[in-house]
Each structure stands twice: as structure tokens, then as C-alpha cells.
Chain A
Amino acid sequence: MSGEVVIRAKGLSYTYPFQGKKALDGVSFTLRRGEALLVTGESGCGKSTLMRILNGLVPEHFRGSLEGELEIAGEPCPAPLERISRHVGTVLQNPEEQILATSVEEEVALALEWRATPREKMARRVDAALCALEIPHLARRSVFTLSSGERQKCVIASVVAAESEIVVMDEPTANLSPGATEDLARIVASLKRRGAAVVIVDHRLYWLKGVADKVLVLKDGKTAAYVEGRDALSRLGSGKTAVGLRRIDVESPALRDVAESGGPSAVAIDSVSFRHSRRTPYIYRDFSALLPRGGITAVVGPNGAGKTTLARLVCGLLKPESGEIAFDGRPLSAAMRRRDVAFVMQQMDIQLYMRTVREELDFSAPRGLSRIDRRTDEKRWLDAFGLAHLADRHPHSLSGGEKQRLVVACALMKRPSLMVLDEPTSGLDGRNMRVIADVLRDYASSGGTVLLITHDLELLSLAATHRLEVAR
């Protein structure tokens, strides 16, 4: 590719207000039209800061001190956000926290409306963007009914409609299924063909093979590696694991079906039927499965197949219309299952309540556990998850990776006979993902049972032992 240069950064440094340490320190790179740059690195390495500088939020939204040279689409920066936003479109990690309108076409048109684009021109651009993303059938749909993948396409369509020359994507695959991730790779390739420069900030690397033209690896705000060329990712070198990155070559693991597992089962789901109300169709009808003891069973299936519903049924948060769920051969009521099962949900913030990490762990311990046992368990899990130095910190002041580890630690504090985890590693770097995989393996090898819902192929290949297929 030899398009014109749209981003030119030289010695870019940034320090947040009231912080002594630079969040970004002397970063340089260039990006041309039709190229894709992958920015990666461990949690807290400065990826998000770079993204905020590129889309103009620094320094207009986030104050602080910006040094070095930066030129975006020919504009010397810092330039007013008003001007930068005409060139740069951003796709945030959680599209639902970015969508402001209530229908797809309204969302796609929103930025154009507030730029006072004439209606006919706007309608043409909205239609073209929806067609480019292959979602014209969703135009009038309410955003509340969209899947994660569809919501992300809607946000990307709004960027395409705004004719942004630069598209910045923050952790775009964190909530996507492998199929939706493949779709996203195709969309990025098509954006490049249309002449856009794409900056992708992500931990997951495998999907960008053949898509990323440049790779920038950050560590502590500094450039740890900068590789250019079509095979930039492959040339990144074998030292990648050492800096906490994820793997480049990931295959969907071949797992044994739970039906074929011959060993003893810990949980038996027997002829369970469930639907949300009498007016809605059945999600499960006479569904049966056995979860092997000491196994890590991955629930696989397309979006909307009812994976989370199955988790909630097993946990006792939903009651089946018929059928029963037995633990160790003993059918248990929903209330008893809630006592015996630990459930790690996707959303971290709503699972943390106390003033310190230690109190949070203490609150998770089963009632009736002696004080000494509590302290022993607390120490064990604080050490296992590398949280010991954070024991007196407020849980909500932790980084995303630390919070995710804390929530899994809280689940283990409960001493459950079954652990259910829903996307426990989305948005985690390689190091944190491996910590969670290791702990799950240890828990399973000591006789625990795990039900794992995840789109993370690396976690599956590292930890899962069985698969349970659910169909739509």
C-alpha cells in the first residue's frame, strides 16, 4: 500500500493530570490510507491512551500534558475535537455504551444529523453504510433487540457513513463469537480497500493475521516492538509470550463431547424444559446432559442459542418448567443450587460491593466457615491471583484484569462444587488469561467441576476438557 500518510506520530508522550509517570512515552509511527495498525501490549501499557490521543479526546476531554509531534489527516495536533472527529471514527469496546440512538438507522445517521448534513445526502450515506456492512435489513430495528455482533456492525456503519478516513477500534473482539470475529476481519479488510486507515487496539492477535500491516507493541507506555509489512504479526517474534501477549496461531480446539465422557458425572441435567413465559417459545425442551467431575466443560453454540440461560438454570437463578438438575445424584432445588454453585458473570462492576479486596473475599466465603479457614482461603486466593499487594485497595479502583481475577477469586472463596463462568477472560491480556486458565485447571484437578461459556479460543485450548453443544 502506498496511500497518503494520514497519521504521523513522532516522539508522542502524554501524562494524565495529577500523575507523575508518563502514560505514553516517545511513541512514533506512521499510517497510510488503506493500512491497518495493530496496537497491543499488556494491560496498562498505554494502548487506550494512544487511542484517546488519536481520536482527539486527549486533550479536549482528558486534560494533561501532551508532547511530541502528531499530525492527523494533515491537521497538526492537538486540534479541536470538532475537526478531529471529522477525520476519525471510533468503535469502543462495548458498543452498547456507545450507541445513543434507539434504532439502527438513527444511530448510523446521528453524527451526520449533528453536522447538519442535508437530508437526501444523509439518507444516501446511511443506506450505503448499511449495505457496506451487509445490514440493510436491520435499518428500522430497535437497538435493544440486536446481538453484540450486530451492535458492533451498527457502530462501524455509523463510522462508515461519516466517511471517516481513520477508524480506531478499541478491543473490538472482546465480546464477539469466533464467527463474528471472522466477520470483523472481513470488515476491516473492506475498510482498507475503501481507503480508510484502521487502528486496532486489541489483545487478541490471531484474527488479524493477513489484516494488520503494522504492529506496535507497547510496554509501560514505551515502544517494545514496531514491525511493518504484510506479515508483520508473524514477524513479531517468539519473545511475545514474555511480554504478556496472546498467541498468534490459535485453532479451535477439538474437545470431547460430554456425551462421550465415560467418567463419573458431578452434575446431571435431566429432561429440562424452559421458556421465559407461556407466550415465548421454548429455549430448552427435554434437554439432558452430564457434566463430568473434574472436567472443564465448554458450552459452545451460536449467539442466542441459550448458553447463558443454561448457566442460569444450572445456578438456580431460573427455574425449569419441567425436569430436574442433580448434583452427585441428588436432585437440588434452585435455592440449594445457588448455595452450591459459584457464578462468574460477564459484567465485573455489578459483582463487587465492599470497601476493600479483602472484605470482598470475606463476603464471598460461605456462612458458617470459621475465621481461621476464611483467612487461610483469603491468603490462598490472593496469592494465586497475584492480588496480595492489593488486599487493602478498593475493588473498584483495580484495573480491568485485576477486577476479573478478583471476581474469580471470590467465586472460589465460596468453595463451590460447581463453578460457572461466563466470558471470564474478555478483554484480558495473555498473562491474565493464562492465570485464570491455570487456576481453573487446578480447581478441576482437585475434583471441582467447571462449566465455561466463552468465545475465547485461547482459553478453550488452554483449559477446556469437554464440550457441550447447544443449538438455537
Chain B
Amino acid sequence: MTYAFQAEGLVKRYGKTIALDGVDLAARPGTVLGVLGPNGAGKTTAVRVLATLLRPDAGRAVVGGYDVVRDADQVRRRIGLTGQYASVDDDLTGTENLLLIGRLMDLRTADARVRAAELLARFDLTEAAGRPARTYSGGMRRRLDLAASLVGRPEVIYLDEPTTGLDPAKRDDVWNMVRALLADGTTVLLTTQYLEEADALADEITVMDHGRVIAHDTPADLKRIVGGQTIAARPADPARLGDTAQILAAVSGHQPESPSRGVLTVPVPDDTAFVEAVRRLAAAGITMTELSLRLPSLDEVFLTLTGHGADDRQEAGV
């Protein structure tokens, strides 16, 4: 089995803080590896090692067959990096940003121009191409940043929390862009704090906490471990809470909990239970102000995997 990138036993210390404590990560060509974890879990540090920005204190990493320390230049020819904060030059226009990367990637000037125009069109930035990036909205900057990562047609692309701070519509844009990358055959490493995002995009998910890998699985198996989905329901009339609870208990086989006043939640094994709940609630004539089916939050995932929540942390990592 060949991997597009593979890290083994990565260790990185900053003074007394251990940012990475023996991390293994790998993805097969053309797949998405989701790296899930809270702030300070070591996700960004791991990406920076794989992107040749940081030398690991121990362990090794290989991208496209090349060692990130010994053959850094070869690795850099094969990767694209989109950081947590868009790394575009504010004073340069969209076109200038991409042309600069093209020149630095040794494209001929004419080729760099073609590539820049192509990417600007693909990311819907043609109209804004001549404006300095400082005038762009947050979503546009992310798109330009991603375009900049793609100038050299990388085999592997690292997306470090690409949707953090974006509203849901922009988040969908980013998700669609990631899917388009896959269609090109690119291998993607995506870090995220949202199980939902990893579930939507990743072929495999590695869960990190305190610089360690605490789980690695397919999304389906991971969800099986952490308990699948949850129905949340809020009847319009609080007097019908009891009836609602009965119906939810009947379809799920669990006693619903009430995390806040007027809301009931219950874990369900799959979405057929949700359809059944909707049918029965409608038949009973109970109108709902809120009725949703959602994946466990990162906090719930961590509670299941580690016994503590994602925020319940002794120290902040790097």
C-alpha cells in the first residue's frame, strides 16, 4: 500500500510543552484525511511538519516518497498549503498574488499568466482579479488563498481549518472546492474542529488530542464508536413535552434527555429513526419549533473517546 504522505512517530517540543507526542498520519493518493481535534491538539503543528515549515524533534514524514527534512525542496514541489489564516499578500491584487507564486514555482511568465487566469475563473474571482486583496471579503480571501496553493498543481494539499470563522454558506463553498480537488486526483489533509466537516469530506479520520492520536477510523466506524446521531426536538407548546418524549423514546429505544428547558435530545442509530419520529409527531398533531438530526459535537466525541470534553484541558498546546 502506497501513501501520498505518511508521518510516523512525530515528536515536537516547545520547551516543556509537547506539541506532538508520537503522531502517525497517512493518506492514500486521491483521498481526504480528516484530522479532528480541538485547539491545541497539535493539528497545525503536524501540518507544519508535513509542509516542511517545522523540523520534527523525532519521527519522520514522507511526502510523495520524499523526506520532509532531507528532501524538503522536492516535497515543496509537490505540496500546497492553505493555512488557518489566509496567507495572501494584502497589498497585491488577486492576479499579482498568483503570478508571484507562479514565478516562484518556476513557471514561464506566459504559463503563469494562463494559470492565474484559470484559477481566478475557477474560484469565481475574475471580477476582483485587479483589486488588492485587502478589499476582499473573508470568503474571497480564502478562495484566493486556496487558488494560490494550487498554482503549482500540487499532489498533496494541506487545508488547515479552512472553514473556521466562515458562515455556513461560505463553508459549503469550501466543501465544494475540496470535492473538486478530489476530482483532480489531489490528496487532501484537512484539519477541522467539526466532526460534521470531517464526516462530510474525509475518507478516514484521525482524532488528535494533546499531541497524540486517540483514534483513527473511517467516518462510519468513528460515528459507530461515538454513538451516531442525535435528534433534538422543541415542541411549540411546552405542554406537549411529555407526548414528544414518549414518541422519541419509542423510535430510539432511549429515554430522551433535556439539556435545556423545552428541548429534548435522544441518540439514534441512523436517520430512519428520525423519519419515523417526524411521521409520528405529525400524526400526534404536535407542532415543533425545532426538530433536527445532528452528529455529535466535538465535545461529545471527546467525552466518548477520552472521558473528558474538548474544552476541559489542563494546558493549551501550541
**Is the pairing of A and B real?**
no
